[in-house]
């Protein structure tokens, strides 16, 4: 008789995924050929229904979505989906679902204002020394949450536009770093991509070229093409930013593709997007960053999902992102920590957000109160002019207190712990990992005297009343806001998917 846990297990449907399940008759030669993968992408609901169950009630809704935003799924990426799991994380990234229809009118076409910061079409020049160059509207897989979801109904980028972009960079000497993105530049034929890279490399002030690509994730067979690797190697220093979102994407094929790029001397950094139902939990995110390190890919950014039209169903709260970051820092390798950023609506650029570890900082006092990943609180003292250190300098008596603390108020354990506890209480406890503390003020308490005195309980009793520097005035004017555009009409995608490639 099976034990209870075994019978529980029996109730779970078997996993239906993998190449052997979906594509049993495809030869190795076909499967490993990126052209075959690209040609055989699933682009219609009818084709998709041959592989995955589609709820009857959703058929029309999904059809409607596809009139607005196209679909494209390589056989390889499809094979990662468990056909028995309607909430499969790969499916959610690539397959339109009813929610995409329901929320279709919410959000912005161009949430980052990329087209407003555009000196010539295709270039976004937002930061002083680097720019973004969108050279393609084609991707191997179309991600349902794409920030540039507008590419899903735009036409191919013509060569003359690319030439104008290169020309802009050539006559703008402050640009030393060019991000070549799309769409996906690695879906280009090798010669077509080389045309762009060679022109960029010929510009003396362009120091580094970065390519943003999801191809190692969605079409790793592309890296089976030695010509591509030989070509890329000619344009060093070249970096590639890849885009893995879920540990299920860290497959042997993807690892091999990354290995080939790395062996061509190209450092790989990963940019993930925090996505509801895909990777918005700590266990998944930890498995992802570990999977990346095993492939020698460094986690770089974790993006808060942009409020782009057609992606609303995949957004999470910021608190969720902070909670995940809190669960990574200290708990696992420093190498595994991405930087969590919000790309500011309207074009403010990437803004780091995350758990607050500095609970208090006063440059005037030369003192900071910090907490570590376990919620323990520490005081750090800054250097001072020599004459302000009391003589004789006592041996520091505290654990967890920086040296050079014989500055008068340091009179033993009482002070250190008192300050610490006082702050802890003020902030509603420093322990635990889940409660986001984004309301904790850490603006240095110096300037405008609006530090509210909420006495941080220093045990030496000289309550110094400069509190936590809680800003009582509103932060300065909001400079960029999301727009919740509500569109009535839908645009129709070119049926032939733009006929690139
Ligand atoms: C993200 C981005 C860059 C590159 O930013 P880094 O923080 O240097 O990776 C450059 N330009 C634009 C418009 C961007 O969105
Ligand atoms: S690969 Fe990148 S550009 Fe293409 S659809 Fe996905 S997120 Fe958008």
pLDDT, one tens digit per residue, over 267-287 is: 999 999 999 999 999 999 999
Do 459 and 430 share a structural domain?
A: yes
Q: Is 372 or 454 the better-scoring residue by pLDDT?
A: 372
Read off the CATH number of the domain in which 289 is found: 3.20.20.70
Domain that holds residue 197: 15-352
Mean pLDDT of 459-480: 42
Q: What distances in angstroms separate CA 86 from CA 82, 91, 254, 453, one per listed residue?
A: 8, 8, 24, 53
Classify residue 301: in a domain, yes or no: yes
Classify residue 469: in a domain, yes or no: yes
Classify residue 412: in a domain, yes or no: yes
Helices and strands: H and E segment counts in the chain = 17, 12
User: What are the pLDDT digits (tens) for 395-436?
Assistant: 555 555 544 433 333 333 323 333 333 333 333 333 333 333
Report the chain's mean pLDDT, rounded to a whole number.
83
Q: How confident is the model at residue 389 (pLDDT cuts 50, 70, 90)?
A: confident
The response to whether residue 132 sits with its C-beta less than 6 Å from ligand 1 reads yes
Q: In degrees rounded to 5, what are phi and psi of residue 268?
A: -115, 130
* Residue 130 annotated as catalytic: yes
Do 429 and 336 share a structural domain?
A: no
Do 172 and 73 share a structural domain?
A: yes
Classify residue 85: in a domain, yes or no: yes
In this predicted structure, the answer to whether residue 288 has a pLDDT above a threshold of 80 is yes
Classify residue 391: in a domain, yes or no: no
Do 242 and 209 share a structural domain?
A: yes
* Residue 305 annotated as catalytic: no
Do 337 and 190 share a structural domain?
A: yes
Do 203 and 312 share a structural domain?
A: yes
Classify residue 9: in a domain, yes or no: no
Do 156 and 91 share a structural domain?
A: yes
Q: What's the pTM?
A: 0.81
The response to whether residue 130 sits with its C-beta less than 6 Å from ligand 1 reads yes
Do 276 and 364 share a structural domain?
A: no
Chain centroid offset of residue 243 CA: 8
* Residue 306 annotated as catalytic: yes
Choosing from 127, 235, 373, 380, the catalytic residue is 127
The response to whether residue 278 sits with its C-beta less than 6 Å from ligand 1 reads no
Pocket test for ligand 1, best of 116, 122, 126, 175 (most atoms within 8 A of CB): 126
Q: Kindly list the strands in the beta sheet with 349-352, ordered across the sheet, starting from the edge strand earlier in the chain.
A: 123-124, 130-134, 177-181, 208-212, 238-242, 268-274, 298-304, 339-344, 349-352
Lowest mean pLDDT among 160-174, 206-220, 381-395: 381-395
Do 436 and 375 share a structural domain?
A: no
Length of the chain equals 501
- Count how many domains the chain has: 3
The bridge status of strand 349-352 relative to strand 298-304 is unpaired
Pocket test for ligand 2, best of 95, 114, 139, 217 (most atoms within 8 A of CB): 139
Mean pLDDT of 129-157: 92
Do 500 and 406 share a structural domain?
A: yes
Q: How far, in Å, CA of 94 to CA of 280, rounded?
A: 17
pLDDT for residue 246: 98
User: What are the pLDDT digits (tens) for 223-236?
Assistant: 999 999 999 999 99
Q: Compute, in angstroms, the gap from residue 152 CA to the centroid of ligand 2.
A: 9
Classify residue 7: in a domain, yes or no: no
Lowest mean pLDDT among 44-48, 161-165, 451-455: 451-455
pLDDT for residue 443: 41
In this predicted structure, the answer to whether residue 318 has a pLDDT above a threshold of 70 is yes
* Residue 301 annotated as catalytic: no
Q: What percent of the chain shows pLDDT beyond 70?
A: 76
Q: How far, in Å, CA of 61 to CA of 37, rounded?
A: 27
Do 452 and 318 share a structural domain?
A: no
Q: How far, in Å, CA of 52 to CA of 263, rounded?
A: 37
Pocket of ligand 2 (CB under 6 A): 139, 142-143, 146, 148, 182-184, 214, 243
Do 441 and 329 share a structural domain?
A: no
Classify residue 319: in a domain, yes or no: yes
């Amino acid at each position: 008789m099976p034990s209870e846990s075994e019978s529980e297990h029996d109730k779970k449907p078997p996993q239906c995924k993998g190449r052997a399940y979906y594509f049993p008759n495809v030869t190795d030669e076909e499967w490993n050929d990126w052209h075959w993968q690209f040609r055989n992408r699933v682009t219609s609901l009818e084709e998709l229904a041959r592989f995955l169950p589609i709820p009857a009630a959703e058929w029309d809704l999904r059809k409607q979505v596809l009139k607005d935003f196209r679909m494209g799924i390589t056989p390889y990426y499809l094979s990662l989906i468990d056909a028995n799991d309607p909430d499969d994380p790969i499916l959610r990234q690539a397959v339109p679902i009813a929610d995409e229809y329901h929320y279709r009118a919410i959000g912005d076409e161009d949430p980052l204002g990329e087209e407003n910061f555009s000196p010539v079409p295709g270039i976004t020049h937002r930061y002083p020394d680097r720019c973004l160059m969108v050279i393609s509207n084609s991707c191997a897989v179309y991600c349902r949450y794409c920030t540039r979801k507008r590419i899903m109904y735009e036409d191919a980028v013509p060569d003359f536009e690319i030439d104008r972009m290169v020309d802009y960079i050539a006559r703008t000497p402050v640009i030393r770093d060019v991000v070549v993105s799309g769409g996906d530049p690695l879906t280009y034929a090798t010669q077509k991509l080389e045309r762009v890279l060679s022109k960029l490399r010929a510009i003396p002030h362009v120091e580094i070229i970065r390519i943003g690509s999801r191809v190692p994730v969605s079409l790793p067979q592309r890296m089976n093409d030695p010509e591509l690797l030989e070509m890329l190697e000619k344009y060093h220093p070249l970096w590639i930013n890849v885009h893995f979102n879920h540990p299920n994407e860290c497959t042997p094929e993807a690892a091999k593709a990354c290995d080939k790029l790395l062996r061509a001397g190209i450092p790989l950094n990963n940019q993930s997007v925090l996505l509801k139902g895909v990777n918005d939990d700590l266990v998944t995110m930890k498995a992802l960053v570990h999977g990346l390190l095993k492939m020698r890919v460094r986690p770089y950014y974790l993006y808060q999902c942009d409020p782009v039209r057609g992606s609303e169903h995949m957004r999470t709260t910021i608190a969720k992102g902070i909670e995940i970051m809190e669960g990574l820092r200290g708990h696992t390798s420093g190498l595994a920590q991405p930087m969590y950023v919000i790309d500011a609506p309207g074009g403010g650029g990437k803004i780091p957000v995350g758990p607050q570890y500095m609970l208090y900082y006063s440059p005037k006092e030369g003192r900071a109160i910090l907490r570590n990943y376990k919620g323990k609180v520490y005081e750090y003292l800054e250097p001072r002019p020599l004459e302000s250190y009391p003589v004789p300098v006592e041996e520091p008596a505290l654990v967890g207190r920086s040296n050079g603390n014989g500055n008068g108020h340091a009179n033993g354990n009482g002070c250190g712990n008192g300050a610490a506890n006082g702050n802890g209480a003020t902030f509603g406890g420093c322990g635990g990992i889940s409660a986001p503390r984004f309301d904790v003020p850490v603006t240095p308490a110096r300037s405008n005297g609006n530090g509210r005195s909420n006495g941080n309980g220093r045990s030496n009793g000289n309550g110094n009343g400069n509190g936590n520097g809680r800003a009582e005035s509103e932060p300065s004017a909001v400079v960029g806001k999301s727009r919740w555009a509500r569109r009535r009409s839908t645009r129709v995608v070119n049926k032939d998917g733009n006929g690139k490639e």
